């Protein structure tokens, strides 16, 4: 039988091999000896049939500890997370943004040229309780702007106010509350310069009246990124941040999840009840335990929705006419001035406008 080690050789070359190999077979003409190594003239094997001795074993190697440079990325679980290995022997999880971008959250009802893209989504289609994870080990929260709330969510002078207003100085940086993708960035008559960000949990946050927008539709942002500068564009009486939180197109009081005065998130997981999506529903201060004790059962949630609906149906409004004064309106409906002020927070008795709606019960 022909020796395969020889039949595959094509060209002569000078190579270094262990002395033991040279003694075990014909590897060519010995040219020099240096300790346990010999230099021999031997033909070069063709790359496709290179022969490796049967008893040749590659030793387990290691790499020198480095300064923290990434050396490998591994997919794990469902593909939404990846594991990054670093040369300082450490590791950490990261989000697989390609997978995130392909998820239903960022494909369904995605329109970059409208304020509310959720056409056809009815309130009754949403669950009574919706558990929403706000932060986890890979996602954080940063308060868009910390300060005392000036105007709260709810009806204001007879009109719906779907967010929270926090006064600021024009030019103040406004930050993204959570990781997400910019769905809308543009100018509108009401909001002025507006940025809308959709987040991985399905929530959308609105940042209105900006003096400048730093992001465009389609941009990915991380919590804390400066998405614009505060201002007073659009329908505004002074520089402030108008901040909204919406779920499937329906606004709810941002103070359910954000303590603006302290710049903190109230809880890592938020249970959004369908009753909160009613424009008359405002944040009720209290601990999570107290709130769960009151509204923990679905039957009580339904009752709360019915109560809010009945209260809204019973509301009466007076439309201001020429010559009307607040005291005359109070007398007409058998109310005191202080009662009307409580029903209409922020009302200015000296500056009533014709056509203005004033709640009277």
Whole-number Cα distances in Å, 69 to 31, 61, 87, 88, 348: 45, 19, 6, 7, 62
Question: Buried b / exposed e across 162-195, counting CB within 10 Å, b at 16+?
Answer: bbbbbbbebebebbbbbbbbbbbbeeeeebbbbb
* Among candidate residues 268, 273, 298, 299, the one with its CA nearest the CA of residue 284: 273
Burial level of 357, CB count in 10 A (0-12/13-18/19+)? middle
The predicted pLDDT at position 154 comes to 81
Band (160; pLDDT cuts 50, 70, 90): confident
Which residues sit opposite 339 in a β-bridge? none
pLDDT at residue 24 above 70? no
As a whole number, mean pLDDT of residues 292-316 equals 65
Q: Which residue has the higher pLDDT, 298 or 120?
A: 120
Mean pLDDT of the chain: 81
Calculate the CA 39 to chain-centre distance. 65
Which helix (H) or strand (E) segment holds residue 302: the answer is: helix 298-314
- CB-CB contact of 262 with 250 (8 Å): no
The predicted pLDDT at position 288 comes to 45
For 158: left if phi > 0, alpha if psi spans -120 to 50, otherwise beta; the answer is left
Question: Buried b / exposed e across 319-353, counting CB within 10 Å, b at 16+?
Answer: ebeeebebeebbeeeebeeeebeebbeebeeeebe
Which residues sit opposite 208 in a β-bridge? 242
pLDDT at residue 45 above 60? no
**Computed over its alpha carbons, how large is the radius of gyration of the chain?**
35
pLDDT at residue 198 above 50? yes
Band (191; pLDDT cuts 50, 70, 90): very high
The Cα–Cα gap between 252 and 284 comes to 12
* Among candidate residues 268, 269, 234, the one with its CA nearest the CA of residue 163: 234
pLDDT at residue 353 above 70? yes
* Among candidate residues 193, 282, 188, 308, the one with its CA nearest the CA of residue 240: 193
The Cα–Cα gap between 307 and 312 comes to 9
The predicted pLDDT at position 294 comes to 46
Which helix (H) or strand (E) segment holds residue 357: the answer is: strand 357-359
Band (147; pLDDT cuts 50, 70, 90): very high
Band (72; pLDDT cuts 50, 70, 90): confident
């Amino acid at each position: 039988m022909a020796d395969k080690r020889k039949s595959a050789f094509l060209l002569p070359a000078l190579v270094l091999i262990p002395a033991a190999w040279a003694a075990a077979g014909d590897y060519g003409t010995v040219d020099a000896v240096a300790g346990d190594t010999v230099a021999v003239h031997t033909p070069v094997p063709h790359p496709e049939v290179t022969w490796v001795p049967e008893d040749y074993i590659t030793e387990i190697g290691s790499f020198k500890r480095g300064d923290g440079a990434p050396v490998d990325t591994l997919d794990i679980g469902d593909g939404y997370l990846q594991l990054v290995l670093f040369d300082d022997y450490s590791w950490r999880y990261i989000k697989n943004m390609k997978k995130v971008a392909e998820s239903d959250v960022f494909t369904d009802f995605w329109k970059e040229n409208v304020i509310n893209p959720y056409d056809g989504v009815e309130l009754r289609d949403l669950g009574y309780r919706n558990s929403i994870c706000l932060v986890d080990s890979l996602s954080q929260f940063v308060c868009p702007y910390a300060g005392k709330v000036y105007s709260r969510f709810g009806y204001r002078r007879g009109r719906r106010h779907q967010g929270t207003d926090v006064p600021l100085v024009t030019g103040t940086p406004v930050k993204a509350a959570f990781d997400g993708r910019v769905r809308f960035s543009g100018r509108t008559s009401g909001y002025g310069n507006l940025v809308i960000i959709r987040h991985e949990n399905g929530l959308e946050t609105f940042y209105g009246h900006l003096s400048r927008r730093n992001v465009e539709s389609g941009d990915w942002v991380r919590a804390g990124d400066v998405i614009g500068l505060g201002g007073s564009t659009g329908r505004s009486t002074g520089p402030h941040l108008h901040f909204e939180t919406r779920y499937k197109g329906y606004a709810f009081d941002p103070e359910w999840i954000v303590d603006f005065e302290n710049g903190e998130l109230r809880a890592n997981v938020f249970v959004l009840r369908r009753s909160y999506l009613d424009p008359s529903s405002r944040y009720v201060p209290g601990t999570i335990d107290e709130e769960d004790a009151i509204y923990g059962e679905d039957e009580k949630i339904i009752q709360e929705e019915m109560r809010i609906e009945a209260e809204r149906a019973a509301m009466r409004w007076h439309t201001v006419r020429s010559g009307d004064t607040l005291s005359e309106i109070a007398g007409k409906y058998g109310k005191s001035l202080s009662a009307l002020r409580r029903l209409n927070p922020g009302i200015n008795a000296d500056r009533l406008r014709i056509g203005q709606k004033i709640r009277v019960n």
